Structure 1
Amino acid sequence: MKHTQQPEALLVLQDGTVYKGLALGKIGTAGGEICFNTGMTGYQEIYTDPSYYGQVIINTTSHIGNYGILNNAEQESNGVKIRAMVCNFFSNIHSRYTADGSLQDYFERANIVGIHGVDTRQLVRYIRSKGVMNCIISSEILDPAVLLAELNKVPDMDGLELSSEVCTREAYEQGDPEASLRVAVLDLGVKRSILSNFNQRGVFCKVFPARTSHAELAAWKPNGYFIANGPGDPAAMPYAVETVKQALETEKPLFGICLGHQILSLASGISTYKMHNGHRGLNHPVKNLITGHCEVTSQNHGFAVRAEEVMDHANVELTHINLNDKTIEGIRRKDKPAFSVQYHPESSPGPHDSHYLFDQFIGMMKE
């Protein structure tokens, strides 16, 4: 088989470290916060997850692109949300007979820049040691000094509000309008599979833009409130914190996932912080302290809530803890029908150990 010569590409980290490789996707330049996902599968779900908006993803599994893409079934939003991608081996051919096309064509249509042929194991070890930082990838500019100057223009994720950029522009409904339960979804970057989990359980959802007031949510007369996942720094979202504070006062059940968990924490008076390295992958062990059971979870977050403030809070109970680093994975309010988890129980991709959380929320609304 004859192979065409692939253009060279450079990856430059914020501290000046340079990695050489080959171009994938669109020929161009893109920068953002670099982070890594340890999942062995589910790359399309990762790339279309709005929580990754503004980030450059390192896929740690060796082969990427080998099973192609599906235009609808594996999309978590209306398109690719990552800024760029890094991997070890990028496959230009795919073997899944149901695939709609190649990952290369998919990235070209989405204007996504990337680099492969990089020793991702060494790169991840470096980032784990140095901590999360910005980076820039280019297949058109091969001068590290020029790229480093361009990289200085990329905003830092700390203090960045991004939910209003990825959320729906207009409220929309999803599910059976005749359903007995109605959930108002505050869209901070919601994944489609979360809405599907509600719909499959007979819940009718209305999805509202991130900056929607509580008055508008309440006017729809929901049985409960769902605070979605999403990108950016939760501390830069006082508008969402205020909406959740008002929702709590209604005494209606409230459930938060990932960024929604952090927003509930902030609304309860618990602060958040940026992690040295986030949790991103499909096999993070979490212990449910209420049942004593352990769950293998899907995760994607770079911020967390402060453990000492959770433990000291009179009206907040710790429900889930990460077994790798003891970070907070779940809380519930003692004085309100509200709870949240830091991980992703919809698990797309990932194991299904945590689907019970949707049933728990529905049970609260039925009560």
Structure 2
Amino acid sequence: MSDLAKTFAKTKLSALPPEPALPEEPEDDSSSASSMSSTGTVIPTSSQRPAPAIHWSDYYAQEFYLEQRRPDGSHAKFHIYLTPPSTAKAPLLVLHHGAGSSAMSFALFVKELGKLMPEAGILAVEARDHGSVVWDAAGTVGNDLSIDVLSQDLVDMLRLTQEKMGWSELPRTVLIGHSLGGAVVTNVANKGLLGSTLLGYAVLDVVEGSAMDALKHMQAYLASRPKTFATLEAAIEWHIRSRTLRNPQSARASVPSLLLQTPEGRWAWRTELSTTESYWENWFSGMSSKFLGGKGAKLLLLAGTDRLDKELMIGQMQGKFQLQVFPSAGHFLQEDQPDKTAEVVVEFVKRNDRSALVLPPKVSDLLAQGKKV
């Protein structure tokens, strides 16, 4: 498992029973890596290299590394995937992954979106320490993963994309976040960082109550999972056998992006989640009230109703947000059931996109035109 909130599957809060940790895979010379390699990938150390991206171009139109130099002397290099909107009126769906995950976790979901809403734009971002890097003025890699910093990074990536594409203004935007990404998009919406551009936001399988409860199990879980894999194929197989991912096609697309090859030739996790512990409570504390209080349409997709905390249960009964539950999916809804997730998201976008509505003429306008009413 690569995401902090995947620990839900290891706790009493999950519909799944606990599973024993799997041993490391035996050494093997085979690999399922694609010959299509990722260009410009940020390399944490000179002795590690990233796994090749497996056909990212099957899911996204473009890949960018967006440079940003800030007044304080810091420097950012943000990694994004983009499929631009096909028309000026089409919405832009902005996707933010969970902790330890990547933009490729949305790959199959994006493909389904393209079938249902081909005119929509897609911007899938990668957070710092997950594919993007930010250096301070002294050239030291920044390790601040607090919720406000991650939120500003998301807004910066959106604005840099606007500049890169030469858009005079941002398209109407829908934020979609999985797990930690859900906390980030909720914080952006609650603080109004996108103003009237924001059409709505969707959170995938994370709520404050169960997330905060799961944190005490996190370090034990991280200690139990394999530290390295002999091959990418072994890593993909582990994700499927452990039921971290239940869709083999999605696992082949997303798992390689989670790993780096060590000098010994094995594959280790790109993001060392155990070092982010000081931020865990900061990510999810107060999330329910932020979710309910933010402006814009709201969608919550869960793998089970047991994840709802009291505040959200009350809000749901009051009709403050749309709730959809996929009981047969695991934590990675968008990977396990990309078609159903896309259907719900597309319906949510179309139902709340007022620009797409054809309103009847006003009575005053008809009278001014000399028409009888």
Same fold (TM over 0.5): no
- Greater relative contact order (CA < 8 Å, ≥ 6 in sequence): 2
Query: If each structure's strand is expressed as a fraction of its own residues, which one has the higher value?
Result: 1
